[in-house]
Amino acid sequence: MKIKLLYLIIFFTTNSFFLFSQTNVSGGLFNDTTWSISGSPYIVTADVALFPGNTLTIEQGVTIKFNSGTKLILRGTLISSAATGNEIIFTSNLSNPTKGSWTGIEVENNQGGKIIASNIKGEYADNFIRIMNSSTGEVLNINNSEIKNCNRAFYGYDGHSNHTVILDNLNVNNNNYGYIYAQNVTLTNSVFSDGEKGIHCWENIPNMSISDSEFYNFSIWPFNMEGEIDNCHIHDNAVGIRMKPNLIVKNSTIEFNVIGIEANYPNQISGANIFDNKICDNSQHNFKHLYSYPITISNNCWCSNVESKISQSIFDAYDDVSLGIVTFTPFKNNCSSTLNTETFNIKNDLSFYPNPARDKITLSENVQGNYKIYSINGVLVKKGIVTKKMNISELSKGLYLIKVTNLDQTEFSIKKLIKK
């Protein structure tokens, strides 16, 4: 009996060690280093710096927690590659973290700093990843990862640099900024959502390539950049796209924003680089011009073949004589034939009662999917999962639009709601 009791004590003591183990880290890493799953979580108690010529490898499943104000400085290569479901997590060590609870990861790329990562999660940083210097070569190569709840997900170098950044299959959400001072970035198959501003690029060289991605729910704009946007879905933002001189937008759907495209650049720019897009259903204006020079934005689909109807959705000299004229002809009649991004099937069978309604509405049929409710000026006021009876009691009196999308996001219906 004593032997069995001793065995049980050793068993539980040993396993408790592994269950509650953690590793405190700080200071310099002067050799190749591995942060292993057996030492997880790693608690960064003061700044950690990886020195040139060395590699920090983080095993899959490891969690790194940062005390307030601490950061990871990279002058060597960080390799953090994991499998789906066994992600590497970079987060705050606070029990109730907020945006900016820790500083972030600083890449001193002029000394060889670099990140190669897959299946990582970053959250609650000030700048989750910041590129500090001018350099050449690849600095970031990140795929299949999520960055959320940061002040800025990516902070690029504020000055010209020839470094390159490769990003693929990212979910960047609930950050104030998606990517500020971006340059030499190739972004594919990603979703940026739920912030103030998306991607900002100040360079006048078209060195940005964004394709096959979705941008939505930005309270200011998802794009203020030079470069190329191809085959993207841009929706439910205050302004879908702010035009700049060397911006190319093609094969994309720009819809359900307050303003679809805004030409707010003071010097004359050409609209010839905006073509083969679907620009429809933006609540105030599909296109808004803010300066006096003329602009041509032809060869796009406006979801109508009636020239006068298209003109009503464009704000230009016909609305304010101080502005220039926007020429939108010739226009394309068939959106689906020119756009790879048009995967939605618009249905008109959404039915609910009563309408006008005071507290609740009841859908006529059972629907599985998600809903969004917009004020008449395009501001998202409520969203959630569709139920048979939907509570609208918190809405103010007025006119709204309800958009219901099915589970696989291939169909949607939209209808007006009057709240009394």
**Could you give the CA distance from residue 283 to residue 297 in angstroms, rounded to a whole number?**
19
What confidence tens digit (pLDDT) does each residue in 298-317 have? 999 999 889 999 999 999 99
Read off the amino acid at residue 150: C
What confidence tens digit (pLDDT) does each residue in 313-350 have? 999 999 999 999 999 999 988 776 333 433 445 555 67
Domain residue ranges in the chain: 22-338, 347-419
CATH number of this structure's domain 347-419: 2.60.40.3080
The two tokens of residue 326 are: 């926007």
Pair 297, 326: CB distance under 8 Å: yes
Residue 38 DSSP code: G
The percentage of the chain sitting over the pLDDT mark of 70, rounded to a whole number, equals: 90
Provide the sign of the torsion angle of the four alpha carbons 333, 325, 261, 377, taken in this order: negative
Read off the amino acid at residue 179: Y
pTM score: 0.78
**Could you give the CA distance from residue 15 to residue 359 in angstroms, rounded to a whole number?**
55
SS3 state at 239: strand
What confidence tens digit (pLDDT) does each residue in 217-267 have? 999 999 999 999 999 999 999 999 999 899 999 999 999 999 999 999 999
**Could you give the CA distance from residue 280 to residue 338 in angstroms, rounded to a whole number?**
14
Note the pLDDT of residue 271.
87
Pair 388, 268: CB distance under 8 Å: no
**4: confidence class by pLDDT, cuts 50, 70, 90:** very low
Cα radius of gyration (the chain): 25
Q: Kindly tell me if the per-residue pLDDT of 152 is higher than 60.
A: yes
